[in-house]
Amino acid sequence: MSNDKKYDLEERTSKFAENILELVKAVPKNLLTKPLLEQLIRSATSIGSNYCEADCAESRKDFEHKLGICKKEAKETKYWLRILSKTFPEITPKARSLWREANELQLIFIAIINKSKTNEFRH
């Protein structure tokens, strides 16, 4: 990504959630997969919604708290992708790709939180 392009994290987290939902549609629903899929959907869609809340934070503390939730939800999403992939190996290639994106998002949120703690909150 070139430096002159605006980085749109809201769009990226929305696209990530959409891709997770596409993956979920491809997995057969049964007693084993249903609870895993529900957990995956909750954690993956929560990343973007909490980022939107962080974007409208009322204070630095609120901003860091919401981004902390984003970071934790990204980590949880990686967990559910791993478990689902082991349960339903046919989705492993797509799950790996989504796991990498969740990992990148987690690292981005960590970096933003760290930067926020060392700079004045500007919003």
- pLDDT at res. 122: 54
pLDDT of 5 reads 43
**Using one digit for the tens of pLDDT, what is the confidence trace for 1-45?**
444 344 699 999 999 999 999 999 999 999 999 999 999 999 999
Q: With contact defined as beta carbons under 8 Å apart, do 57 and 66 qualify?
A: yes
The answer to the question of residue 1 being in a domain is no
Say what the pLDDT of residue 17 is.
98
Q: What is the pLDDT of residue 120?
A: 55
**Number of domains within the chain:** 1
Instruction: Say if 4 falls within a structural domain.
Output: no
What pLDDT does 90 receive? 94
- Does the residue 99 lie in any domain? yes
Could you tell me the CATH number of the domain that includes residue 87? 1.20.1440.60
28 domain residue, yes or no = no
Q: Tell me the pTM.
A: 0.89
How far, in whole angstroms, is CA 37 from its chain's centroid? Answer: 15
Its domain, for residue 57, covers 11-20+33-118
Residue 52 gets which letter from DSSP?
Answer: H
Averaged over 83-106, what is the pLDDT?
96
Q: Rounded to the nearest 5°, which phi and psi values hold at 122?
A: -125, 115
Residues 35, 30: Cα–Cα separation, whole Å? 9
Average pLDDT over residues 99-103: 98
Specify whether the CB–CB gap between 47 and 17 falls below 8 A: yes
Q: Which residues, at least 6 apart from 113, have a Cβ–Cβ distance to it below 8 Å?
A: 64, 67, 68, 71
Report yes or no on 25 lying in a domain: no
Average of per-residue pLDDT across 53-68: 94
Is residue 62 one of the residues assigned to a domain? yes
